[in-house]
Amino acid sequence: MDNKIKMQAKNVDFFYGKTQALKKVSLDVYSHKVTAMIGPSGCGKSTFIRLFNRMNELVPHTTLCGEIFLDDLEINNPLVDAVDIRRRVGMVFQKPNPFPKSIFENISYGLKVNGIKNKAFIEHKVEDSLKKAVIWDEVKNRLNDSALKLSGGQQQRLCIARCLAVETEVILFDEPCASLDPISTAKIEELILELKKEYSIVIVTHNMQQAARVSDCTGFFLLGELVEFGKTQDIFTAPKDKRTEAYITGRFG
């Protein structure tokens, strides 16, 4: 793969208290590609993705060893502010989590906390983000309604729009379709393929078909280890490791 590396994890160990959740994980995320992480529950893939925007800092009693780079910046450097990292690396969560505010405010929130006050710009940006997240037509007439009135699939696209509004460079998807029906899932997958033109995307998923459909590269996690990482096509057609093969052919997991 001759693409530019956007994010890079080098020898990452991660602990919850004394329990080791990740063991020496190294992985590259390429620019304008979708990188998928698969593996059974509890394998550490969600923990891993949350390291890319320093989300695990919010969990008490955790320890991280190793390095994670965003371009050339080591993001855990004490001189780097987590807030700045999160402005460049956005995240969409497993369960749609819109704020209990209006649809408009959900999107404008990210702009406002980043110090943007120009009303016209905010309005333009809200519309633009909702259009990119393919939800504009469904909500354009009720931007002032509570976001909690939307369906689960709509809420998740709203959360994606919220992420797009702050113009991040990377978007992390932590099992974005876990609580959605197949039609909403298909819409989100379509959206991810569209978004990779402008963003670098990392997605954690339980669903192997989903990884096969949307991703360019895939990493297979097992018990905190990255067992295998490579082109999605290779992982699914010619896995090098026996454990990967066993997992993708459905022998466990």
Q: Is residue 163 a contact residue for another protein (CB under 8 A)?
A: yes
Residues 6+ apart with CB under 8 A from 234: none
Nearest to 59 by CA among 114, 23, 19: 19
Q: Is 58 in the site for another protein (CB under 8 A)?
A: yes
- Residue from 71, 74, 84, 198 touching another protein (CB under 8 A): that is 84
Residue matched to tokens 């997991």: 253
Binding mask 172-211 for another protein (x = CB under 8 A): ----------------------------------------
- Residue from 78, 100, 182, 250 touching another protein (CB under 8 A): that is 100
The residues in 34-53 that bind another protein, with binding defined as CB under 8 A, are 53
Nearer residue to another protein within complex by CB, 38 or 172:
172
Q: How far is the CB of 216 from another protein (least distance, A)?
A: 24
| Residue type present at position 155 | Q
* Binding of another protein by 114 (CB under 8 A): yes
In the complex, the smallest distance separating the C-beta of residue 234 from another protein, rounded to whole angstroms, is 32
Which tokens belong to 211? 């990884």
Binding footprint of another protein on the chain (CB under 8 A): 53, 55, 58, 60, 82-84, 86-87, 90-91, 93, 95, 97-101, 109-110, 112-114, 148, 159, 162-163, 165-166
